[in-house]
Amino acid sequence: MTNRVVVYKTGAESEPTEGVVGRLRSGGIKVLDQQPHMLLVIGDKGAVTSALGELRKWQVREETLAPHPRTHPEILKKR
């Protein structure tokens, strides 16, 4: 399984998203999804952090998944 990492902006005075994407791609990191303040990339968290270097106001977190909600709850019977 590949490591998916979320890179997100934490401040208004941070580097633009396009510059971050360019820096990650030049470091050999594949960008899966790009939003205005968040990126989903494939790579090790350490490799992504080192590709970003001394970038201000951007954080790196491993992707977390939440389970889907139950769509067919059981009906409770009267006693």
The single-letter DSSP state of residue 55 is -
Query: What range does the domain containing 52 cover?
Result: 4-62
The pLDDT value given to residue 2: 63
Q: What is the mean pLDDT of residues 44-70?
A: 89
Q: Which helix (H) or strand (E) holds 32?
A: strand 30-34
Mean pLDDT computed over every residue of the chain: 88
Structural domain count, the chain: 1
In a domain, 26, yes or no: yes
In a domain, 70, yes or no: no
CA distance 59 to 10: 7
In a domain, 68, yes or no: no
Which band of pLDDT confidence, cut at 50, 70 and 90, is reported for residue 41?
very high
**Short-list 18, 12, 4, 11, CA closest to 48:** 4
In a domain, 58, yes or no: yes
In a domain, 24, yes or no: yes
Checking if the pLDDT of 13 tops 90, the result is no
- At 18, which CATH number? 3.30.70.1170
Q: What is the mean pLDDT of residues 36-54?
A: 91
Checking if the pLDDT of 12 tops 80, the result is yes
The pLDDT value given to residue 71: 85
In a domain, 73, yes or no: no
